Structure formats: C-alpha cells, structure tokens
Amino acid sequence: MLSHRHRPPSPVPDADTRDDRVVDLAADSAARERARETAWLERVRDHGDRDAYERLFAAFTPRLTAWIGAQGLDGASAEAVVQDVMITAWTRARLFDAAKASARTWMYTLARNRMIDHHRAGERRARAHDGYATLLPAEDEAVDTPEQGLTRARIAALLEQLPAEQRQVLLLVYVEGRSHREIAQELELPIGTVKSRARLAFNRLRKLLEDPAP
Amino acid sequence: MTPAHHPGEAWLMDYALGNLDQPFEAVLRAHVGVCASCRDTIAFAERLGGEIVHALPGRPVAFDARAICDHHEQETPRPQAVSRAHGIAVTDDIERCVETYLDSSLDALPWRGVGQGLRLCRLGEQAGARTWLLRGKPGTVLPHHTHAGSELTLVLKGAYFCGDRIYRAGDIEDADESTAHQPVITRDGECICLAVTEGRLRFRDLLPRLVQPLLGI
C-alpha cells in the first residue's frame, strides 16, 4: 500500500533519508515503519543521536503541522506549537517508553497534550472548515491522490472501508478535534446517532489494527 | 474493582483527545481510574490518533532539526506520563477518589432531602452541564425520566437497577436523549452516585415535574 503513494516533502532532504525512503517504500509494512520510528526515538533517548532526531523530525514535523492546522490554528501558531512539540521530543526523550507506546503514538500524545494546554490557556479554537474541506474526502469518494486527503498507508485504506458517515465522525473527532457533542450539533444529528457511528468506526478499526505489538 | 458498565467509545475518544468540558472530564477521570478496560480503550484511541495524523499530507515548516539540537540540552526529567491512559491516579476506592477530588467527605456535604428516601447535593454548573450527587436509601425508586442531552452517572457506593441492568460501584451509566429510565436502588444498602447532566430532566409523572424547579434538576 505504501509502494505507490508519495510521502510529503521532507524539510530535511539528505541522502540518508532518501535512502530510507526507498527502503520504506519497498517494505510496504506499516509495522516495520513504526518499528523504525521507534528505533530512532530510542537512539535519541539513549544516545542523543542527532541523525536519528533528524529522521524523526522529517517523519513527524510536516504531519503534526498539518494536524494542528486542521484544528483551527493559523500557520504561524501551528508552527510555534509544533516547534514546542519537537523541542520536547528532543529535550525530554528520556520519558519515552517503548513498552507503553510506539514513537508514533508518543509523538501524537505530546502534540495532543500541547494542544490541550493551548486550549486551556483560553485560546479558543477557530473552527477549521478549510481544514475539514481539504482533509476529508467528499461523501463516499475514495481518496487516492497524494495531494489531497489522507494519503498514506494502511490506515487510509482502512478508513476508506468504513461507511462514509462513520468515517466522517471519526475524522471530525481526530482531524479537527471536535467532541461528539459538537458534531451532533453541527450535523444536526441526535447525540445517540453520533455516538453509535463513533463506536462502530472505532471498534472496527480497533479490531483491524490491534495486535500484540505496541 | 472491575466495572461492568462503561462510557461509550465516543466519550473515551473525547477524553483521549482532551475535548471535554470539566464536569464530564471529571466524572470520566474517576471511572477511568478504576477501570483497566477503559484505560486500554484510551490507549488505543491515542494510537489511532497517531496513525491518522501519520496519514495526513504533510506541510513544510520553516525551522529545522539541527537548530533544535544546537540550542536545547537534553534533560533527565522526572518520570511523567504523557498518555492520558497512564496519566491518572489508579485507585480501587472510588468513594475516596471522589472525596479527594471534592476535598470533602461525602457525609460533610450539604445534602438536601427531597423525599422518598432520596437526598441531592448540587456541586455546580459549567458549560451547560450540572454536576450533582445523589444518595438514596435501599429500595428507593426514582421517578421515571428522560433527558434533554447527555448524562453520565458514576456509582460511588451501593448499586441500582435500571431495567435488567445493575450498576455497581465504579460503573458508569451512559445516557442521552434516547434513554428513558427509572433507577431503583437495590435493597442491599444505600447508594451514592455522581451524575453530570446536560439540560433538564424530563419527568413522566406530575409530582416530580411540580417540584423540579425547586430542586434545580
């Protein structure tokens, strides 16, 4: 699934990461990609390895910036938040425990925590209809262009398997950071309907993704 | 303690993303502290977040990795959980957990008798949701009602029936507009619950409707 999809442009293009990318594409394995990210973060944690940090940075920074932008922060604020997250990933890498989470999950939780602080600091989130429009596939249309929508990997294919109305709820929760109550108001649906779509989508993905590896 | 009834996945996703107003966040935190199954669900919700973000088309940024390494020293931080699944006090004593949160023993709170073996204590209202404690004698039958929004009820002590389900200490009853119920406290002992309710309750019978404005429920 990875083999025919582009990766987003890396801000740190160098020969090593390009080589890595070729290996990535050939591997066609989400689990191996995850394991590689985790190994980079462990090298940052254990040895202060700058090369490993650069790879981690190239893999995560563009996506976290897109995600935080989709939650309604303007470009400059989103970048400031991501910079904080990436500084934390470097300075506090010793908090990482691969037994509890993969690097991918850990990086996400760092960014999520930073966003919670951001909202608690009273900076109301602007509603990101633009983000929603550019990130979410319209209706039941499958997304297969790298420039638009969810571009990569197994998760994108799994999301495409969900009924459109379930996928919509899941992406509103995860991409835009809406609560299920906000979604019910916006889509003018009973709360019970939104909860049931969220439950079906979540449990389906859980069944498909959950394996013994973290 | 192994709770048998849990908040729906939508609540746990919202919890994992930090999307909830404080009253719902607080009642969920108390349940999650005693519920390994919900902690697993939250851990998966975080993992799913990581996967979905990883599938987003990236945006280039104007800062680079080397500048971060050059300008920041690596630290040896005090152990601290970054996951919301691992980051809460895990306890088996839900009553104590809530007392700690309220900074009061349950008995010392200003309870108000509302008849029929029932006492209420309003803890506050925020973002359209009221938090209250409810305490009933064994065998108390609550008025039949529906809801104008969401309601989460956490059992702190004792147990109650709703239809064919029994809710015991640590359990959450997850109700919304589609739920009509009439809780009945079991005969084994008193029951204390913490509830967060959006909107007014809608009572089927006249008497509770008449006293509703006085009680603010």
The answer to whether residues A32 and A95 belong to one domain is yes
The answer to whether residues A199 and A113 belong to one domain is no
pLDDT for the residue B97: 82
The answer to whether residues A105 and A158 belong to one domain is no
The per-residue DSSP string of B72-139 comes to -----PPP---STTTSS---S-HHHHHHHHHTS-GGGS--EEEETTEEEEEEEEETTEEEEEEEE-TT
Q: Yes or no: say if B7 and B38 are a contact pair by the CB < 8 Å rule.
A: yes
A window 129-188, beta carbon within 8 A of B: 135, 146-153, 155-156, 159, 170-171, 173-175, 177-182
The answer to whether residues A170 and A81 belong to one domain is no
- By CA distance, what is A131's nearest residue in B? B56
pLDDT for the residue B216: 66
The answer to whether residues A68 and A89 belong to one domain is yes
The answer to whether residues A120 and A136 belong to one domain is no
Taking the domains of chain B in order of start, what are their residue ranges? 94-215
Distance of alpha carbon B92 from alpha carbon B35, whole angstroms: 9
Pair type for strands B201-203 and B191-198: unpaired
Per-residue pLDDT of chain B (217 residues; tens, 9 = 90+): 899 999 999 999 999 999 898 899 999 999 999 999 999 999 999 999 999 998 888 888 888 999 999 999 999 988 888 899 887 777 888 888 888 888 888 889 999 998 888 999 999 888 889 999 999 999 999 888 888 889 999 999 999 999 899 999 999 999 998 888 889 999 999 999 999 999 877 777 777 777 676 666 6
Q: In what order do the strands lie in the sheet with B165-168?
A: B165-168, B159-162, B184-185
Name the residue type at position A53.
Answer: Y
pLDDT for the residue B183: 92
The answer to whether residues A12 and A93 belong to one domain is yes
Q: Which residue of A8, A91, A112 is in closest CB contact with B49? A: A112
The per-residue DSSP string of A104-149 comes to HHHHHHHHHHHHHHHHHTT-PPPP-HHHHHHHSPPTTPPP--TTSS
- Say yes or no to pLDDT of A140 above 70: no
Q: Which domain holds residue A22?
A: 1-126
CA of residue A184 relative to chain centroid, distance:
23
Last residue of a domain, one of A126, A149, A171: A126
Mutation site, A6, A180, A204, A205, interface B, largest B CB count within 10 A? A180
User: What residues in A contact B68, CB-CB < 8 Å?
Assistant: 53, 57, 83, 86-87, 90
The CATH number of residue A73's host domain is 1.10.1740.10
The CATH number of residue A141's host domain is 1.10.10.10
Last residue of a domain, one of A126, A156, A172: A126
Contact B59 A8 (CB under 8 A): yes
Domain count, chain A: 2
The per-residue DSSP string of B61-72 comes to -S--HHHHHHH-
Binned at pLDDT 50, 70 and 90, residue A122 comes out as low
| Segment A162-171, tens digit of pLDDT | 999 999 999 9
Residue A153, CA atoms < 13 Å, CB-side half-sphere: 21
B window 99-118, beta carbon within 8 A of A: none
The answer to whether residues A11 and A115 belong to one domain is yes
Instruction: Return the number of CB contacts < 8 Å for A and B.
Output: 211
The answer to whether residues A9 and A101 belong to one domain is yes
The answer to whether residues A189 and A209 belong to one domain is yes
Distance of alpha carbon B101 from alpha carbon B95, whole angstroms: 10
The CATH number fitting domain B94-215, selected from 2.60.120.10, 2.40.30.170, 2.120.10.90, 3.40.50.300: 2.60.120.10
The answer to whether residues A105 and A195 belong to one domain is no
The answer to whether residues A2 and A96 belong to one domain is yes
Question: Does B72 reach chain A within 8 Å, measured CB to CB?
Answer: yes
| Segment A71-80, tens digit of pLDDT | 888 888 899 9
**CA of A180 vs chain B CAs: smallest distance (Å):** 6
Q: Which residue of A8, A67, A182 is in closest CB contact with B53? A: A67
Last residue of a domain, one of A73, A107, A126: A126
